[in-house]
Amino acid sequence: MSFLEKYNEGQTLLIDKDLEWTSFDVVKKIKFLIKCKKVGHAGTLDPLATGLLVLCTGKNTKKINDIQNQNKEYTGEFTLGKTTPSHDLETEFIESNDLDDVTEEKINDLRKNFIGEQFQRPPRFSAVKVKGKRAYQFARKNENIEIKEKKINIHEFKISEINLPNISFMISCTKGTYIRSIARDFGKALGCGAVLTKLRRTKIGEFDVKDAFKIDDFVNKINKEKIENS
């Protein structure tokens, strides 16, 4: 079996996605690089997020659902005092508030309220299906729709640094949790609003971004193997 045939047979690849790449961009790049018809990812990352993207090739694509259902871990940053329709930097700021009443004590006390099983409303700018369409299709036309809450579980929520207006965090959670919605709800509870300004996925189950290839490094690896095996 050639080194490229092993990918067609079935492999699981860990990629550290760069900023502004879509998950589909990464799949398309890898698919072309390894000449494999069956390549899929186990959980979308937004273009404004970086970090772990698990790709499966060949018969390993059967594992995608199992991988997607595992817990996720993220690090990132909320910026307090501002809001956007998408709850991140995909859309323009629509509100700005002062932080006079915000203290580190309030932030740390509030964090505890977000841990555990709860219902969360996905963002309007999301891929959640409503009436047979994606929610973002309605949002981009400024059409109001009701998005149902979904049950999630936040296992850990740690504040690693407070440098107002920015808060750095680590969150471990179940599948289907929107970190943008946590930013929205956290800012609302503080009374000042908040926007997700940085997001990095660090783990999916036992898969860790520390073991992942940057896309350029993976390209170089494959090209080197092509030369060695030619």
Helix axes 179-190, 104-113, angle to 10 degrees: 130
Q: Is 127 helix (H, G, I), strand (E, B) or coil?
A: coil
First to last CA, the chain: 14
Exposed/middle/buried for 187, CB within 10 Å: 0-12, 13-18, 19+?
Answer: buried
Q: Is 209 helix (H, G, I), strand (E, B) or coil?
A: helix
Q: Which tokens sit at 217? A: 């490094």
Please check whether residue 7 is in contact with residue 36, taking contact to mean a CB–CB distance below 8 angstroms: yes
Catalytic residue among 18, 25, 46, 208: 46
- The Cα 224–Cα 113 span in angstroms is 51
Please check whether residue 15 is in contact with residue 215, taking contact to mean a CB–CB distance below 8 angstroms: yes
Element (H, E) at 217: helix 215-228
Question: DSSP state, 141?
Answer: T
Helix axes 215-228, 23-34, angle to 10 degrees: 0
Side chain identity at residue 184, one-letter code: R
Asked if 101 is an active-site residue, the reply is no
Residues annotated catalytic, as ranges = 46
